[in-house]
């Protein structure tokens, strides 16, 4: 009897989820096999045509490349910087509790606000970054970074890092604090150096946390639309175009819903592939 109540609970929860998420998802996948375009009243099934066209589409591959670079570089840096931040926060410096408390604030700030803050700081003339550059003699580099072919993509990466490194940092800090102090003491008695203590005690201790963080952030970064769109719209030219912004453009500039849907499905497949491989390699440790 009691088990049935449990089933009903589950049904309710999944019912809600199914309606909200799976129905649109299935409709979306279905759309990818059509040539639906908002400019035309009729829609037909075109099988795999959209996918074949994607394969031959140079803009798609550019966006794909950028997405790939963005995710790998950003998540890798977040991992490394996260560890560094955690190590820093672990120290018993006076006032450290304040910093521990406040550093994750970058993650809760709405993305619109984050982009605006950085755009403001990048304004030529009165932007904070450019004023600093000018004052230390690097005036030639003072420009609107989001409009520069060379600097726009690195700036996008910096935005991602700014937002997410504290998340990594706090998570690693917690994991590090959970490592028993005795392990370190025993190791130093045995003559282990600081680096060896780090490598053989700290790193394994934070492994689980690290894997979860990486998984979450690969998904978030890969699907992240707002940061690039609000900051540069994918420009200048294609310099910062990523798959989500390319999809958006296909849907909202060309009104090519079917084609856009196929990009979405490809994105989903890529993430699934990543998840599958990742799970295979580290699966045991994440369950």
Partner 1 sequence: MKNEKRKTHPISYISLILFFSFFLLPVLWILYASFKTGSSITNGKLFSLGGFTLENYRTIVQRGDFLLYSLNSLIIAISVTILSLFTGIIGGYALSRYAIKAKNTWISIMFIAQMFPGVLLIIPLYDLMLNYHLVNTIIGIVIAQSTLTIPFAMWLLKGYFDGIPRSLDEAAMLDGAGVLKTLWSIILPVSIPGVAIASFYSFVVSWGNYLMVSVLVQSNSTATLPIALYRLSSSLTLQWGNIAAATIFIVLPTVILFAIFQRWLVSGLLGGAVKQ
Partner 2 sequence: MKKKFLVFSVLILTLSLVSLATINLTFWSMPFSTGEVGMNYVKWFQENVKKSLPNINVSTYYGPGQYDAMLKAFVVQATTGQPAVIEGLTEQMDTYVKMGLIADLDQYFNSWSEKDQFLPNAIAACEVNGKLYGIPYNINVRGLLYRKDIFAKYNLKVPTTWSELVTTAASITELTGGKVYGFDFCSSVNEPRAFQEFMSWFDQVNNREQMFVNVDGKWKLNATVEEFQKIFQLYYDLTFDNAPYTPFNQNNRGGTWEQEDLGYIAGKYAMVPMGPWIWGHINDNALAKTILEDDSAVTSLPIPQGGVKAAYLEVKPIMMNKYTKDPSAAWDLIKFITSEKAMAGWDSAEGTLPPRKDAMNDPVFNNWWAKSWEALMPEGVGLAPINWNPPEYAILTAMDTVIYGVSTPQEAATWLYNKLNELASSGVLGS
Q: Which residues bind partner 2 (CB under 8 A)?
A: 37-39, 41, 124, 143-144, 146-147, 149, 232-238, 249, 252-256
Q: With binding defined as CB under 8 A, does residue 65 bind partner 1?
A: no
Count of other CB atoms within 10 angstroms of residue 78: 24
* Segment 82-86 long-range contacts (CB within 8 Å, at least 24 positions apart): 82/165, 82/167, 82/168, 82/169, 82/171, 82/172, 82/213, 83/168, 83/172, 83/206, 85/165, 85/166, 85/168, 85/169, 85/172, 85/173, 86/168, 86/169, 86/170, 86/172, 86/173, 86/175, 86/176, 86/206
Task: Decide whether 36 or 239 has the Cβ nearer to partner 1.
Answer: 36
Q: With binding defined as CB under 8 A, does residue 201 bind partner 1?
A: no
CA distances from 9 to 1, 12, 14, 21, 95 (A): 13, 5, 9, 18, 46
CA distances from 230 to 24, 111, 115, 138, 224 (A): 25, 9, 7, 27, 11
147, 183, 268, 278: which one contacts partner 1 (CB under 8 A)? 268
In the complex, minimum distance from the CB of residue 234 to partner 2, in angstroms, rounded to a whole number: 8
Task: Decide whether 82 or 127 has the Cβ nearer to partner 2.
Answer: 127
Q: With binding defined as CB under 8 A, does residue 70 bind partner 1?
A: no
40, 272, 281, 283: which one contacts partner 1 (CB under 8 A)? 272
The residues near 83 (Cβ < 8 Å, ≥ 6 apart) are 168, 172, 206
128 binds, among partner 1, partner 2, none (CB under 5 to 8 A by kind): partner 1
41, 58, 125, 137: which one contacts partner 1 (CB under 8 A)? 125
Q: With binding defined as CB under 8 A, does residue 41 bind partner 1?
A: no
Q: Which of residues 1-20 bind partner 1 (CB under 8 A)?
A: 2-3, 5-7, 9-10, 12-14, 16-17, 20
Considering only the stretches 45-53, 56-64, 146-154, 165-173, report the one whose residues sit in contact with partner 1 under the rule CB under 8 A: 165-173
3-state secondary structure of 45: strand
Task: Decide whether 68 or 235 has the Cβ nearer to partner 2.
Answer: 235
Q: Which of residues 126-145 bind partner 1 (CB under 8 A)?
A: 126, 128, 131-132, 135
Q: Which of residues 202-231 bind partner 1 (CB under 8 A)?
A: 208-209, 212, 219, 223, 225-226, 230
**In angstroms, rounded to a whole number, what is the distance separating the alpha carbons of residues 21 and 23?**
6
51 binds, among partner 1, partner 2, none (CB under 5 to 8 A by kind): none
Q: With binding defined as CB under 8 A, does residue 191 bind partner 1?
A: no
Q: Helix crossing, 207-223 with 58-90: angle to 10°? A: 140
Q: With binding defined as CB under 8 A, does residue 82 bind partner 1?
A: no
Q: With binding defined as CB under 8 A, does residue 27 bind partner 1?
A: yes
3-state secondary structure of 271: helix
């Amino acid at each position: 009897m009691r088990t049935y109540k449990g089933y009903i609970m589950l049904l309710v929860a999944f019912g809600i989820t199914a309606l909200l998420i799976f129905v649109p998802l299935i409709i979306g996948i279905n759309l990818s096999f059509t040539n639906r375009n908002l400019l035309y009243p009729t829609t037909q099934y075109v099988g795999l045509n959209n996918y074949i066209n994607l394969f031959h589409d140079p803009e798609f591959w550019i966006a794909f490349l950028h997405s790939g670079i963005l995710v790998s570089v950003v998540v890798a840096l977040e991992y490394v910087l996260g560890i560094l931040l955690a190590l820093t926060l672990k120290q018993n410096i006076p006032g450290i509790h304040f910093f521990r408390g406040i550093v994750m604030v970058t993650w809760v700030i709405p993305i619109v606000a984050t982009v605006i803050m950085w755009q403001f700081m990048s304004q030529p003339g009165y932007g904070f970054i450019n004023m600093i550059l000018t004052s230390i003699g690097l005036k030639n580099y003072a420009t609107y970074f989001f409009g520069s072919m060379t600097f726009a993509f690195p700036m996008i990466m910096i935005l991602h890092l700014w937002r997410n490194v504290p998340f990594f940092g706090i998570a690693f800090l917690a994991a590090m604090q959970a490592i028993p102090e005795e392990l370190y003491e025993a190791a130093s008695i045995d003559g282990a150096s600081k680096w060896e203590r780090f490598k053989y005690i700290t790193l394994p201790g934070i492994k689980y946390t690290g894997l979860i963080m990486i998984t979450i952030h690969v998904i978030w970064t890969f699907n992240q639309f707002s940061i690039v769109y609000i900051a540069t719209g994918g420009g200048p030219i294609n310099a910062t175009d990523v798959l989500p912004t390319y999809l958006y453009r296909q849907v909202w500039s060309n009104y090519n819903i079917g084609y856009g849907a196929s990009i979405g499905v490809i994105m989903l497949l890529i993430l699934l592939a990543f998840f599958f491989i990742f799970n295979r390699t580290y699966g045991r440790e994440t369950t």
